[in-house]
Amino acid sequence: MKFLQRGAMFAYGVFAYLVFLGTALYAIGFIGGFLVPTTLDGSPRLPLWQALAIDTLLLGLFAVQHSVMARPAFKRWWTRVVPEPVERSTYVLFSSVALLLLFAFWQPMGGVVWDVQGMDGRVALYALYAFGWALVFATTFLINHFDLFGLRQVWLHLRGQPYTHLRFVTPGPYRLVRHPLYVGWLFAFWATPTMTVAHLVFALATTAYILIAIQFEERDLIAAHGEDYRLYRARVPMLVPRLFARTRGRASV
């Protein structure tokens, strides 16, 4: 019976991961404006104020879900409701559902903020867009992709092994900035040859969310890793790499 329960949890974790993977692939087309039926851009279907209200609500729903469920205090309460091995998978599934709702009900607003016409400029911006997504996915593997998205937890549980927390490490781009994953997102959100009003609203809102989320995330990292993270935070900038080495001073952006 216990093996069947562990098997069911593992299957649930795989399902949640596959939903995430499909959602992530859809997001590439949704933000980039290609290959998927709904995108950030397009002709407006509603008055501007209605479209803005709906899009703000959708963005707020994702932000609240994504941040609240990631906090340790919520996790301690939540694991009284769901088994601990599938807590991360449930978080991943709920995040994917919040994004799928955004994809389904997003309202284009029309209007163009900028439109790069030259071929070289368009190719360069699409290259930066691709770089952003590549950085996002590469970074997840550097910090253990399968733990981040819940597969490691359900795999260990299936094998009857206890979960072990990952060590604090700073591989590759983590030596340049503390949050290369968010740097990748920023490239993906802003690198576009045609910036519409709806795309601008999306980029501004997600950038603000990232800057706020980092503050909560770093507070949790300090609680988890103590002096190791404090020293790392003082040594490595948050999002923008330093051009010149700095020996003293507080943490910077």
pLDDT digits (tens, 9 = 90+) for 39-87: 999 999 999 999 999 999 999 999 999 999 999 999 999 999 999 999 9
Radius of gyration of the chain (CA): 20
188-241 residue pLDDT tens: 999 999 999 999 999 999 999 999 999 999 999 999 999 999 999 999 999 999
- Which structure tokens are listed for 71? 């906090």
Q: How far apart are the first and last CA of the chain?
A: 51
Under the banding of pLDDT at 50, 70 and 90, the label for residue 129 is very high
> Lowest-confidence range among 86-90, 94-98, 154-158, 167-171?
167-171
Q: Measuring CA to CA, how many Å separate 234 from each of 224, 228, 253?
A: 17, 10, 11
- Return left, alpha or beta for 35; rule: phi > 0 is left, psi -120 to 50 is alpha, else beta: left
pLDDT for residue 3: 78
**Rounded percentage of the chain residues whose pLDDT exceeds 90:** 91
Angle at the Cα of 140 from the Cα atoms of 136 and 146, rounded to 5 degrees: 145
Residue 109 CB neighbour total at 10 angstroms? 25
Q: What is the mean pLDDT of residues 108-137?
A: 97
Q: What is the mean pLDDT of the chain?
A: 94
Q: What is the mean pLDDT of residues 117-135?
A: 97
175: which DSSP letter? G
CA 13 to chain centre: 18
Query: 2 or 104: which carries more pLDDT confidence?
Result: 104
Nearest to residue 170, comparing CAs of 201, 214, 139? 139
Q: Is the pLDDT of residue 251 over 50?
A: no
pLDDT for residue 249: 42
- Which structure tokens are listed for 12? 């649930």
Q: Is the pLDDT of residue 19 over 90?
A: yes
Q: What is the DSSP code string of 115-161?
A: E--SHHHHHHHHHHHHHHHHHHHHHHHHT-HHHHTTHHHHHHHHTT-
Under the banding of pLDDT at 50, 70 and 90, the label for residue 90 is very high
Under the banding of pLDDT at 50, 70 and 90, the label for residue 243 is confident
pLDDT for residue 250: 43
CA distance 113 to 197: 6
Residue identified by tokens 């069947």 is: 4
| Enclosing H/E stretch for 59 | helix 48-68
